[in-house]
Structure 1
Amino acid sequence: MLEYEYRELRFARGTSRSATRQALAEHAEYGRWELARVRLYPNGSRRITLRRKIIRQTRTI
């Protein structure tokens, strides 16, 4: 079974789309995060949830 770890990012109302896109691209490229959920609130702020797989190593003898 796959296990994931999650990270939540919040962007204020005044944050541009390009700045948000650049931040998400950096997380995806360097941290191997993938987009799990985007929530846009009525006041214009965004809450973005990222996830990545947890890789467990099994012990071999």
Structure 2
Amino acid sequence: MAHARGMGAEVIETCVPAVNEDGLGFAGGHGFVETDRYVLDGERDEWVDLRLSPEGGGH
């Protein structure tokens, strides 16, 4: 994340399957916050979009 910031990234986003509790916990522990939950058309799996704010540095 530091490299992305160094390259000028203002926003860093990721997408994690909702069933992946470890992945959601990892992202949350690094400063990501949930911005959306959705199920793609024709699918059953729920996805979670997360965003690291410009102030959030992560680890």
**Structure 2 residue runs without a partner (length 5+):** 1-9
**Larger of the two Rg values belongs to structure:** 1
- Residues 21, 10 of structure 1: alpha-carbon distance in 2 compared, 3 angstrom cutoff: closer
| Identity percentage of aligned residues | 7
What TM-score, normalized to structure 2?
0.53
Per-residue deviation, 1:43: 1.3
C-alpha separation between the residues in 2 aligned to 1:23 and 1:10?
7
**Structure 1 residue runs without a partner (length 5+):** 56-61
Number of equivalenced pairs:
45
Indicate the structure whose relative CO is greater, using CA pairs within 8 Å and at least 6 residues apart.
1
- Is 2:48 aligned against 1:8? no
What TM-score, normalized to structure 1?
0.52
C-alpha separation between the residues in 2 aligned to 1:45 and 1:10?
11
After TM superposition, where is structure 1 displaced by more than 6 Å over at least 4 residues in a row?
none
